[in-house]
């Protein structure tokens, strides 16, 4: 039986605030009353876990990996949960390798220093017609492994290679910073390392070459915010970049090249063969996640404390997301959703088509809007709760461009039709706002055309994200009509009453506590076996 314990780490931190809109992507009425948790009750603060009786002891040596470069011993690092052997990853994995789990008696932290590549870029084509061949390197990360990045460091998976980072609910894989290990972080720390990048060869827009046709093998882009930009894009819709599940990405978003930042998770042109599930972004100093083109399918996504957008989607991405919790820190962040189809020409195809079911969005910053859709992006929200918890009149919904709002579907232009809303409840003092080329009244008309929508909802959420009586009473939409990817969950919001879906593999903070099974984001788990 596996035992583990966690400790609360308190320390000073620097709050790194950064923001950008889709127009300058570099890293890129009256409504109902608002009640978060029980009326008059503040959001719960996690009870500190006692200091563990068992602490980590650094391993004597670094583990073996199959890549002949091996791991570089960088000495030890210590914090409230014990001492750890720092084992630096090679700058590029040239052979498939596995990062082994090590127990507290021989504790190891895998160090990401600078740009760490998985394989060499295999190019936009899935054969060698572009002069590049796949290296087919697979990096496997075992459940319970912790990786730490230095400032401006990140893990990059190149096209034609894969990552298999699959934790478990009891033993998530944690990507974090050295400050987190040393016990220096608080619930407002951010921007201490880069992030995780997955590249693929699925179709994208906004090609590097102005003579390339979007959505074809000739259309490639470079990852923004990187010093040696990897490329992504191609024409293989079902391409695979591997699998990432039960993973926490903490304190990401450090400034890299040209003042740009990465987000916790960046995907560039990944294909539908990539598996993503149960992923948490905590305190990214840029976006929580950003999906650039490709085919993205995620079940189980948590974004907490992103200091720009929680979910940023653009350059022709086709995405299906289910069971999503996005919660801002008090006074931090921009929008929960920012969506564009193409940043160069709105008529480019593939057109963005993002569909989200079973989401709970909590806005805590006095901003312009919670959700913003523009650039003729095709967007569908169903079974979703949108709550302005700032009580400062932040509008729930903005749609820019009358074409985005009302145009008809067209197979020839890869258009799915206007933005759609079904079983969406909004608890905002200002439900709608004027956009560029649209009015609040026009947005409301489109919203009201959907089924079982409520723009004057009163939230009774508990624990910040768990459905209360009012949420339980809402009529759910069957999302399987949109795609076979979706479950017919039968409820509105991310978590029905009594749900344990988000417990165990997440971490807790003063922003949101997911439950007694979760440790604190300021601490590391200690596994005794």
- The model's pLDDT over 150-159, given as tens digits with 9 standing for 90+, comes to 999 999 999 9
Give the pLDDT of residue 367: 86
| pLDDT interval class at 34 (50, 70, 90) | very low
Residues 289, 432, single domain; the answer is: no
Give the pLDDT of residue 8: 34
Residues 325, 358, single domain; the answer is: no
Whether 181 is covered by a domain: the verdict is yes
| pLDDT interval class at 415 (50, 70, 90) | confident
Residues 137, 237, single domain; the answer is: yes
Residue 146 CB contacts under 8 Å (≥ 6 apart), including other chains: 109, 110, 173, 174, 175, 176, 181, 524
Give the pLDDT of residue 53: 63
Give the pLDDT of residue 30: 33
Whether 445 is covered by a domain: the verdict is yes
- Of 276, 308, 334, which closes a domain? 334
- Of 334, 360, 385, which closes a domain? 334
Whether 230 is covered by a domain: the verdict is yes
What percent of the chain is helix, strand and coil (3-state, nearest 5)? 5, 35, 60
Residues 407, 315, single domain; the answer is: no
Residues 202, 243, single domain; the answer is: yes
Whether 232 is covered by a domain: the verdict is yes
Whether 38 is covered by a domain: the verdict is no
Taking only the tens place, the pLDDT of each residue in 48-87 is: 544 446 899 999 999 999 999 999 999 999 999 999 999 9
For the segment 233-255, the average pLDDT, to the nearest whole number, is 96
| pLDDT interval class at 259 (50, 70, 90) | low
| pLDDT interval class at 464 (50, 70, 90) | very high
8 A C-beta contact, residue 512 and residue 464: yes
| pLDDT interval class at 404 (50, 70, 90) | confident
Domain coverage including residue 289 = 7-28+64-334
Closest of 207, 492, 76 to residue 324, by C-alpha: 492
Residues 187, 260, single domain; the answer is: yes
Residues 315, 415, single domain; the answer is: no
8 A C-beta contact, residue 15 and residue 439: no
Q: Is the pTM of this model over 0.85?
A: yes
Taking only the tens place, the pLDDT of each residue in 361-398 is: 999 988 899 999 998 899 999 999 999 998 778 999 99
Cβ-in-10-Å burial (0-12, 13-18, 19+) of 50 comes to exposed
Whether 211 is covered by a domain: the verdict is yes
For the segment 471-484, the average pLDDT, to the nearest whole number, is 98
Give the pLDDT of residue 282: 98
Residues 282, 393, single domain; the answer is: no
Residues 213, 303, single domain; the answer is: yes
Residues 321, 423, single domain; the answer is: no
* Mean of per-residue pLDDT scores for the chain: 89
Asked if pLDDT for residue 44 goes beyond 60, the answer is no
Whether 154 is covered by a domain: the verdict is yes
8 A C-beta contact, residue 270 and residue 196: no
CA–CA distance from 356 to each of 79, 162, 214 (Å)?
Answer: 40, 26, 25
Using the structure block, give the residue that is written with the tokens 């008529």: 347
Whether 119 is covered by a domain: the verdict is yes
How many domains are contained in the chain? 2
Percent of the chain with pLDDT over 70: 89
Report d(CA 520, CA 187) in Å as an integer: 9
**Helix ranges restricted to H, 65-154:** none
Residues 166, 315, single domain; the answer is: yes
Asked if pLDDT for residue 17 goes beyond 80, the answer is no
| pLDDT interval class at 411 (50, 70, 90) | confident
Residues 243, 304, single domain; the answer is: yes
- Of 266, 300, 334, which closes a domain? 334
């Amino acid at each position: 039986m596996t035992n583990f314990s966690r400790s609360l780490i308190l320390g000073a931190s620097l709050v790194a605030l950064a923001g950008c809109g889709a127009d300058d992507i570099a890293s890129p009425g009256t409504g109902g009353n608002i009640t978060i948790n029980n009326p008059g009750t503040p959001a719960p603060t996690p009870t500190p876990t006692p200091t563990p009786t068992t602490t980590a002891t650094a391993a004597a040596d670094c583990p073996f990996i199959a890549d002949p470069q091996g791991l570089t011993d960088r000495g030890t690092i210590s914090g409230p949960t014990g001492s750890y052997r720092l084992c630096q990853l090679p700058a590029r994995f040239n052979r498939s390798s596995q990062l082994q789990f090590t127990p507290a008696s021989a504790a190891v932290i895998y160090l990401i220093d600078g740009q760490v590549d998985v394989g060499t870029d295999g190019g936009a084509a899935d054969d060698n017609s572009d002069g590049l061949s796949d290296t087919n390197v697979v990096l496997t990360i075992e459940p319970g492994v912790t990786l730490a990045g230095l400032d401006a460091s990140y893990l990059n998976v190149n096209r034609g290679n894969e990552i298999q980072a699959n934790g478990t609910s009891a033993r998530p894989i944690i990507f974090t910073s050295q400050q987190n290990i040393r016990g220096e972080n608080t619930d407002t720390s951010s921007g201490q390392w880069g992030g995780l990048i997955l590249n693929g060869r699925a179709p994208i827009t906004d090609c590097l070459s102005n003579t390339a046709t979007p959505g074809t093998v000739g259309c490639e882009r470079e990852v923004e915010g990187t010093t040696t930009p990897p490329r992504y894009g191609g024409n293989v819709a079902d391409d695979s970049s591997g699998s990432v599940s039960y993973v926490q990405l903490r304190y990401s978003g450090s400034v890299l090249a040209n003042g740009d930042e990465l987000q916790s998770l960046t995907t560039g042109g990944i294909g539908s063969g990539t598996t993503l599930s149960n992923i948490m972004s905590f305190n990214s100093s840029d976006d929580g996640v950003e999906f650039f083109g490709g085919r993205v399918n995620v079940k189980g996504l948590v974004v907490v404390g992103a200091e720009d957008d929680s979910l940023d989607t653009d350059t022709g991405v086709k995405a299906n997301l289910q069971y999503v919790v996005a919660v801002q820190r008090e006074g931090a962040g921009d929008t929960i959703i920012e969506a564009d189809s193409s940043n160069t020409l709105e008529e480019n195809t593939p057109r963005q088509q993002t569909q989200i079911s079973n989401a709970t969005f909590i806005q805590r910053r006095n901003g312009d809007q919670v959700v913003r859709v523009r650039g003729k992006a095709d967007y569908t929200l169903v079974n979703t709760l949108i709550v302005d918890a700032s009580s400062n009149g932040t509008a729930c919904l903005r749609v820019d461009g009358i074409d985005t709002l009302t145009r008809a579907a067209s197979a020839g232009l890869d258009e799915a039709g206007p933005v759609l809303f079904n079983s969406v409840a909004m608890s905002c003092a200002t439900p709608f706002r004027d956009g560029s080329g649209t009015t609040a009244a026009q947005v409301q008309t489109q919203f009201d055309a959907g089924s079982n929508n409520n723009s004057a909802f009163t939230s009774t959420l508990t624990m910040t994200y768990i459905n209360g009586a009012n949420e339980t009473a809402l009529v759910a939409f069957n999302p399987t009509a949109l795609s076979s990817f979706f479950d017919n969950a039968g409820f509105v919001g991310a978590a029905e009453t009594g749900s344990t879906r988000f417990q165990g593999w997440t971490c807790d903070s003063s922003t949101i506590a997911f439950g007694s099974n979760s440790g604190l984001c300021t601490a590391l788990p200690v596994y005794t076996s």
